[in-house]
Amino acid sequence: MVATYRDSNTITADDGTVVVRGWIQDIRNLGGISFVTLRDRFGTIQLTLIKKIIPEIFAKVTRLTRESVIVVTGDVKVSNQTELGLEIIPSDVKVYSEAITPLPMGVIDKVNVDMSTRLNNRFIDIRKAEIKAIFELKSIMSQLIVEVMNSNGFTQVYTPKIGSSGAEGGSTLFSVNYFGKKAFLAQSPQLYKQILMSTGMDKVFELGPVFRAEQSNTNRHVTEFISFDGEMSWIEREEDVMHMVETVLDYVLKGISERGKKQLEILKKEVKIQPIPYPVITYAECLKIVNDAGLKLKNCDDLGTEGEKIIGDVMSKKGVDFYFITEYPEESKPFYIMEKDGTSYSFSFDLDYKGQEISSGGQREHRYDRLVERIQKKGLNPDDFTFYTDAFKYGMPPHGGWGIGIERLLTKMLDLPNIREAIIFPRDPSRISP
Ligand code: ATP
Ligand code: MG
């Protein structure tokens, strides 16, 4: 009879008798009177137990441990001693589950617990309102992405996560034993979403996990993340894709600041909305800025964490959080990106947010012969990609797209210190459990 339970945030002084359930966050025993803070998903409410009036319930509850789970029937009373201005005087308490002591870590203690302990005990960690709020915002973000993509005519698709080859270079492929054959976990839906462009689906998107065997132990890389990919046909240049990306982000950011108000309040954060279009800066300009700042990057080098941060600082001084970086040398971009004929550039872009790459995208090579040439040029064997290149033989429109790591977006939006804070059970080179 779930419907008869009341959430803590809905209770008012006129409610009379209510039934609430949750975790005992705290018990303060003061002799003949005991105050219990009961926590549910929405907040906390105080139970006040007076020994003289309810001796049996008093005895039963006061011996319980923190984080035990109970269901309480009781009368709501006005109280000027509590945050809500309310308290519940229990008339019945049922204990569902008693928590063992000591807890592996506290929920309300002000002690700083290191991230590793927190991640090992996520089942406790997420009981904290400020941790739970992050994942509620992530859920709102996913919902907003689906909404804005649908309203722009994109079809949501699901591409395989096990396959025979990768899209983003061999060094970050996880191999799996597929009935005795070697297979790989998907590094991105790239090749599949492009194949779909040949079918006339025109605009597709996917929100799903991808896997990268990246050994780097940084605060922005994990080995499994959620990629938000879009691919669209009939584009004329990479700018068409960039415009779509900024339109989508604008919707998502505005939506989060409206629908995520409560969570943002808990986190003491505000989402800054930057008007579109987002500024554009070329790779060559970036290279000059970072080298003037003392780095020694050569043409085609990845800007790297440090380089991206330097650019981020320069942009932040201009009040800019989001900016596109364009005109990357084709050499530094994957085979599926289109070259800008007569130059060494490619029709690609990155989108950086507060000094960190959150997205890469661009116009793709849709001409079969040129695509096969690019695969060879990258030192790959076209025979490994026929499942993909075949789709370019029988009519393929010009197209382009992007991939956004949604945890990078969330991390930067909330200024979290580490991408792992935006993943419930993160995976990295030294963590595959819990
Ligand atoms: P970086 O240079 O930061 O390692 P990348 O250029 O290798 O990223 P892409 O292949 O362009 O990444 O992937 C598209 C997007 O996926 C990135 O912009 C980022 O948001 C996200 N992403 C890539 N690798 C990771 C990772 N290891 N962990 C989390 N997100 C990632
Ligand atoms: Mg990239």
- 170-179, 269-278, 286-295: least confident range: 170-179
What is the number of the ligand closest to the CA of 356?
A: 1
Pocket around ligand 1 at a 6 A CB cut-off: 168, 212, 214, 221-222, 225, 227, 302, 357-360, 403-405, 407-408, 419
Distance 360 CA to ligand 2 centre (A): 5
Torsion angle in degrees (nearest 10) through CA of 229, 235, 238, 239: -100
Distance 350 CA to ligand 2 centre (A): 6
Mean pLDDT of the chain: 96
Q: Measured from the CA of 356, which atom of ligand 1 is nearest?
A: 3
Q: How high is the pLDDT of residue 22? A: 98
Q: How high is the pLDDT of residue 171? A: 84
| Mean pLDDT of the 386-400 span | 98
Residue of higher predicted confidence among 83 and 123: 123
Distance 114 CA to ligand 1 centre (A): 26
Nearest to 251 by CA among 351, 143, 350: 143
pTM of the model: 0.97
Q: How high is the pLDDT of residue 394? A: 98
Residue 357 appears among annotated catalytic residues = yes
What does the alpha-carbon distance between residue 189 and residue 159 come to, in Å, rounded to a whole number?
Answer: 6
Q: Measured from the CA of 360, which atom of ligand 1 is nearest?
A: 11
Catalytic one of 6, 364, 366, 408: 408
Q: How high is the pLDDT of residue 2? A: 46
Catalytic one of 220, 366, 374, 420: 220
Kindly report the backbone phi and psi dihedral angles of residue 137, in degrees, each rounded to the nearest multiple of 5, phi listed first: -65, -35
Residue 221 appears among annotated catalytic residues = yes
Nearest to 347 by CA among 230, 240, 201, 191: 240
pLDDT tens profile 306-319? 999 999 999 999 99
| Mean pLDDT of the 263-272 span | 98
Q: How high is the pLDDT of residue 165? A: 83
Residue 112 sits at the vertex; the CA angle it makes with 109 and 113, to the nearest 5 degrees, is 100
For the record, the structure tokens of 49 come out as 């137990």
Q: How high is the pLDDT of residue 349? A: 98
Distance 211 CA to ligand 1 centre (A): 11
What does the alpha-carbon distance between residue 56 and residue 23 come to, in Å, rounded to a whole number?
Answer: 20
User: Which residues lie below 8 Å from residue 422, measured CB to CB, with a gap of 6+?
Assistant: 134, 138, 407, 410, 411, 414, 416
What does the alpha-carbon distance between residue 409 and residue 424 come to, in Å, rounded to a whole number?
Answer: 15
Q: How high is the pLDDT of residue 1? A: 47
pLDDT tens profile 333-385? 999 999 999 999 999 999 999 999 999 999 999 999 999 999 999 999 999 99
Q: Among 173, 218, 221, 337, which is best to mutate for testing ligand 1, by the most ligand atoms less than 8 A from CB?
A: 221
First to last CA, the chain: 33
Residue 265 appears among annotated catalytic residues = no
Under the banding of pLDDT at 50, 70 and 90, the label for residue 131 is very high
Q: How high is the pLDDT of residue 54? A: 96
Distance 405 CA to ligand 1 centre (A): 6
For the record, the structure tokens of 123 come out as 């089942």
Under the banding of pLDDT at 50, 70 and 90, the label for residue 110 is confident
Residue 66 appears among annotated catalytic residues = no
Torsion angle in degrees (nearest 10) through CA of 379, 381, 382, 386: -140
